[in-house]
Amino acid sequence: MVKEKKSNAQGIHRKFKPTYLALKNSTTVYVFTALLILFGIYSYNLMPREAMPEIVVPYIFVHTVYPGNSPVDIENLLTRPIEKELKGLKGIKKISSASSQDVSTIIVEFNTNVTIKQALQDTKDRVDKAQSELPDDLPSDPMVTDFDLSEYPIMNINISGDFSMRNLKEYAEILQDEFESLREVSEAKIRGVEEREIQINVDPYKLDAVGLTFQDIAFAVQAENITMGGGEFTADQTRRVIRTVADYKNTDQISNTIIKVNQGKPVYIRDVATVVDGYKERSTVARLNDKPVVTLSITKKSGENIIAASEKIKSVIKEQQDKGYISKMLEVTITDDLTPYIENTISNLENSIILAMILVIFVLFLFMGFRNALFSGIAIPLSMFLSFIVLQQSGITLNSMVLYSLILALGMLVDNGIVVMENVYRLFSGGYSRLAATKKGVSEIAFPIISSTLTTLAAFFPLLMWEGVTGDFMSILPKTLIIVLASSLFVALIINPPFMANYMKLDDIRNKINSKKSFKMAAIFALISLPFYLLKIYLLANLLLTIALLYILNLFIFRPMARWFQTKFLVWLENIYTRQLRHALTGKWPYIYFFGTILMLVFSAFFYFSNNPKVVFFPDTDPQTIYVTMELPLGTSIDKTNQMSYDVENNIKEIIDPVKSIVKSVTTTVGVGKGGMFESASSPNKSLTSISFVEYKYRNGISTSKIMREITEHFKNYVGAQIYIEKDETGPPTGAPINIDISGDEYDKLIAITYDFLHIIEDDHIPGIAELKLNINTNQPEMLVQIDRKKARLNELSTQEVAMAFKNALYGYEAGKFKDGEDEYDIFIRLDEKYRNDVSTLMNRNLVVNGNKIPISSVATFKYSTTYDKVSRIDNKRVITISSNVVEGYNANQINKRIRQLLLDYDMPNGYTYAFTGEQKEQAESSQFLLFALLVAVALIMTIMVTQFNSFIRPLIIIATVIFSTIGVFLGLGIFQMEFVIIMTGIGIISLAGIVVNNGIVLVDYIDLTRQRKREELGLPNDAFLPHNLQIDALVQAGKTRLRPVLLTAVTTVLGLVPLALGLNFDFYSLYTHFDPKISIGGESVAFWGPMSWTVIFGLTFATFLTLLVSPVMYMLTIRLTYRVRKWTGTLPNENKLDTATGQGAING
């Protein structure tokens, strides 16, 4: 063609070899595309589903038991020696410990770049090294285990009915075995009923009467309850094994065991004790809707599919009932099931992707026509399919972070396709053949879009360096975006070109469509759909009918709309744009535009921040579950706690009664609280009531945050117990929003300082503080036994013997195992309960020494007192923590700011310090990192652009556009009075930088190309300045040429995010299968992802104006500045010197 022959006259031409290779092997590309689709769908279905990314933080627990020791003794004997050895470990972030009565617990938190396996082995080695410094009489070695945050309870299975607790326990154990055999399940923990135990409850007076001790009973049981091999012998030419089988079969055999023969008369166990086949001391009570239940708490394994786990668990329950292993009369209720919430979250995001794709393709259709829109739009599914393959092979689960990343990338991943398609189509419509247009079009634009993609990736790359729990949580976003955008580049430059070279057509939008053909095709698809409607295969039927409707809509609405858009609206827009751009590039207007933009940046920042916006660390969402923890004084029995919990539960039910239609369940577990890692497994003084709600779309606009505020307000002045209100966490675990660590050496002084702090904060009555609490309890009731060592030794007694007498009476003495089938249960000897709880009996117990009975009271006295329940340490320093949640609707940063002001005047003693930790510390670290990440991103982007343009000025223009884009962010947030969410808004600004740079590079590169071509036409050298009017023409022509792709990128990205920003939920699958679109607006997703979405929408909308108008203005200013500098230094090219001499300077503005 003529234009191809004149190509050299038109300017510089590039050749991108990978595209040439793909065009040469187009069949291979088609086959690869088909395989990509198949494996992409397969990988997507294979990815485990999660609500949020799995966080793998190496937490290692060191648990050491040393019965009979106080918290301070445990600290000195166990905790300090072990901590001393652990201190030198590499990769440690923090060492926390709690020294409680009888137990030392140390938690070692490693940095996220250390593997759990390595952390566990290193910790074990150090603990082994510390054992030489530990007491020799430890009952067992320290236990070192890892803790996986990604293994968490996913549901509770509650069983109840007209059965005894033993039967319920048996059914629970059957289900437990089945659940734990599933690959997806890590643990099924039974609550609400205790482990079976054979109890020998001793009457101390009867025992004294016959002159026996606990050890006598234990020895008798151990001597009789035995199975032992005796070796082998040969008789009658047969070799036999001798085995003595004498295990106890029932409690009667234990009762009838002879302990001793006194003066020819046997003393049986039944004579001095009662044998009970019962349960261990009750530690938990479970209720569901006022009915007692036995609960199985199901914990999933790390990396497994939570949806699959849920389906298998429900299948196991049905299978066990069908087979008769568990009674069909048994009521099985599932509560706190995370799977509907996860399915709903993932479904909403999937539908947001589909809706965004439809909007994007529709916009492409308006700009480019159907066929060309299809070429650009194909980049969306193909890039995603390629990404799914890579993500699945990387072990990343399918969670809301991955899906949101795909939505954010939607506009960006079609960007490359749009720019390539638009350039190829422009050449094709200008007279080039399909193949030539594809080769030239892709080659022209290949390096700019590679550079622009690299700069976008550079914006997200620093986020991969984010350390800590928050960094681990958020790292999925940059990983996904990097994979998706790299995939889109591959699709645009390798996969798309062969399709364009073979199937692109010139589509004159002014030509009318063949109406007969459209009606005919619509009728065919409609007729094909009828049999499927009759067979009630609605999905396929509705898809076919949709195609039929699209033919009709295209004929009467879409095609005319696209015709008007392309021939009228875009022409009008281009004319306005070129006039405005030409005006902005003339005279003094470039200076006015540039400095006006700077003033607007200052004004927008002042406008937003002067209104003192709420600054929050993480988005605040409506709770799916509300947790109410009731705490009574330490030492309260579980029966008293259970009794009080009924009152709390009734109060809660009164509050939620008006909204009970949205309440799924109310469950109460007595004996546990919603505490942290150091909370005891059994807390008899606590109860936890969980209120679970239906999904957001079924709440009919009722706010669960409001319900939470009402519950908090109701229990504010509750008498008789402390009440703590919390909600489920939606982000990474960061600690309490109000968290103050006070550290020092002397614990009594620490406690005094802590109470001073409490009084200072409480006296100020700061609104929004839920309930201040300490991580220790200073009122642990205790009975101190004081032994007269002299009297004891005179009676040949040791302090240890007296202490062991109390321990055996209360804790008990394990005398062996009782076998029942495959199960084994402890046989415990202890005082009968009525004697265990009687101080007089305990103090007057006789200890037998050489046949003499010596009462404990003769060598010891006692007194009642209180003490602290544990000694807490962080990084080898004693620490007490004050913490509190924030009442729903209040801002944690404002509350902490006020607390800081209050504590400034407090005179801290030397050696004692305090620090704001928890969420505040994480927030400060994250803010600091995000600023660092932004600076690194800008540096990387600059490096890439300087390499591409071989210039420092061009990258500065584009970076200035990025900075100016924050004008839109601040104005948008300020006008709509939105919160500044540190994590989401911060990442949104970084994401915005990548998108804005993308458009800037393509425009500035094309300006360079246009100016170079004009130089060639005039025969000027590369460093020469164009005449002023041609300079403006080059900038206007480049701007006009790149108007459509820049607008397309902006509009597609914005439209892709709008459904998520508004919380528009539209269920396509339900629409096509049940004719119910389930349309709803709002929800957890909009609260969580809205801040990031609006940041990008506001910023990109304004940045589009900047890219199209202010970028050329800044380009013109750099030309003028360079011209004047070179004129002043006398380095102007000869051609421009001649112009200056004749009065026709290249730059006359």
Q: Which of the four pLDDT bands, split at 50, 70 and 90, describes residue 682? A: low
Residue 1045 pLDDT greater than 70, yes or no? yes
Percent of the chain with pLDDT strictly greater than 90? 17
- Given the structure tokens 């490096």, which residue do they identify? 943
CB 954 within 8 A of CB 1004: yes
Do you know the residue count of the chain? 1149
Q: Quote the tokens at residue 936.
A: 């690194």
Model pTM greater than 0.85? no
For residue 674, the SS3 value is: coil
Residue 671 pLDDT greater than 90, yes or no? no
Q: How far apart are CA 695 and CA 702, in angstroms?
A: 11
Residue 1053 pLDDT greater than 90, yes or no? no
CA torsion, ordered 138, 143, 144, 148, to nearest 10 deg: -150
Residue 879 pLDDT greater than 60, yes or no? yes
Residue 1139 pLDDT greater than 60, yes or no? no
pLDDT of residue 427: 85
Q: Which of the four pLDDT bands, split at 50, 70 and 90, describes residue 270? A: very high
pLDDT for 714-753, tens place per residue?
A: 888 788 888 888 888 776 667 788 999 999 988 889 999 9
pLDDT of residue 1138: 52
pLDDT of residue 1107: 80
Which spans in 95-238 are helix H?
A: 116-130, 165-180, 204-209, 214-224
Q: How far apart are CA 345 and CA 404, in angstroms?
A: 11
Residue 143 backbone phi and psi in degrees, to 5:
-100, 125
Q: Which of the four pLDDT bands, split at 50, 70 and 90, describes residue 30? A: very high
Lowest mean pLDDT of 533-542, 692-701, 879-888, name the range. 692-701
pLDDT for 138-194, tens place per residue?
A: 888 899 988 776 677 888 898 988 888 888 888 998 999 999 999 888 889 888 887
Rg (CA), the chain: 38
pLDDT for 234-245, tens place per residue?
A: 877 788 888 888
Q: Which of the four pLDDT bands, split at 50, 70 and 90, describes residue 680? A: low
- Given the structure tokens 């480049």, which residue do they identify? 1038
Q: How far apart are CA 707 and CA 702, in angstroms?
A: 9
Angle at alpha carbon of residue 717, lines to 711 and 722, rounded to 5°: 80
**Between residues 684 and 733, the one the model is more confident about:** 684
Percent composition of the chain: helix, strand, coil (DSSP 3-state, to 5) = 55, 20, 25
Q: Give the mean model confidence (pLDDT) for residues 779-784.
A: 79
pLDDT for 88-134, tens place per residue?
A: 888 888 899 988 888 899 999 888 778 888 888 999 999 999 988 88
Walk me through the domains of the chain, giving residue ranges and CATH numbers: 2-46+341-507+585-615+925-1141 (1.20.1640.10), 57-147 (3.30.70.1430), 196-279+781-867 (3.30.2090.10), 621-780+870-915 (3.30.70.1430)
pLDDT of residue 12: 43
Show the beta-strand stretches assigned E in 714-857. 722-727, 738-744, 773-774, 780-787, 813-820, 823-831, 846-849, 852-855
Q: Which of the four pLDDT bands, split at 50, 70 and 90, describes residue 33? A: very high
Residue 675 pLDDT greater than 70, yes or no? no
In terms of Cβ atoms closer than 10 Å to its own Cβ (0-12, 13-18, 19+), residue 1026 is buried
pLDDT of residue 82: 93
Residue 910 CB: number of other CB atoms within 10 A?
A: 6
pLDDT of residue 271: 92
**Between residues 528 and 697, the one the model is more confident about:** 528
- Given the structure tokens 């396509």, which residue do they identify? 1068
Q: How far apart are CA 891 and CA 658, in angstroms?
A: 28
Number of separate helices (H) and strands (E) present in the chain: 43, 35
Q: Give the mean model confidence (pLDDT) for residues 75-79.
A: 91
CB 665 within 8 A of CB 335: yes
- Given the structure tokens 């092979």, which residue do they identify? 393
Q: What is the DSSP letter of 512?
A: P
Which residues neighbour 901 within 8 Å (Cβ) at sequence distance 6 or greater? none
Residue type, 833: E
- Given the structure tokens 């082998």, which residue do they identify? 232
pLDDT for 434-485, tens place per residue?
A: 888 888 888 888 887 887 788 888 888 888 888 777 787 788 888 888 898 8
Q: Give the mean model confidence (pLDDT) for residues 373-390.
A: 85
Parallel/antiparallel/unpaired status of strands 92-100 and 913-916: unpaired
Q: What is the DSSP letter of 606?
A: H
Which residues neighbour 569 within 8 Å (Cβ) at sequence distance 6 or greater? none
pLDDT of residue 913: 92
Q: Which of the four pLDDT bands, split at 50, 70 and 90, describes residue 10? A: very low
Q: Quote the tokens at residue 735.
A: 């600690």
pLDDT for 973-986, tens place per residue?
A: 999 988 888 888 88
CB 49 within 8 A of CB 306: yes
Which residues neighbour 888 within 8 Å (Cβ) at sequence distance 6 or greater? 620, 623, 705, 706, 708, 709, 712, 727
Residue 1142 pLDDT greater than 50, yes or no? no
Q: How far apart are CA 1033 and CA 1016, in angstroms?
A: 15
Residue 160 backbone phi and psi in degrees, to 5:
-155, 180
CB 1070 within 8 A of CB 1077: yes
Q: Give the mean model confidence (pLDDT) for residues 761-787.
A: 85
Q: How far apart are CA 150 and CA 300, in angstroms?
A: 8
Q: Quote the tokens at residue 933.
A: 């990440």
Q: Which of the four pLDDT bands, split at 50, 70 and 90, describes residue 1136? A: low
Residue 705 pLDDT greater than 50, yes or no? yes
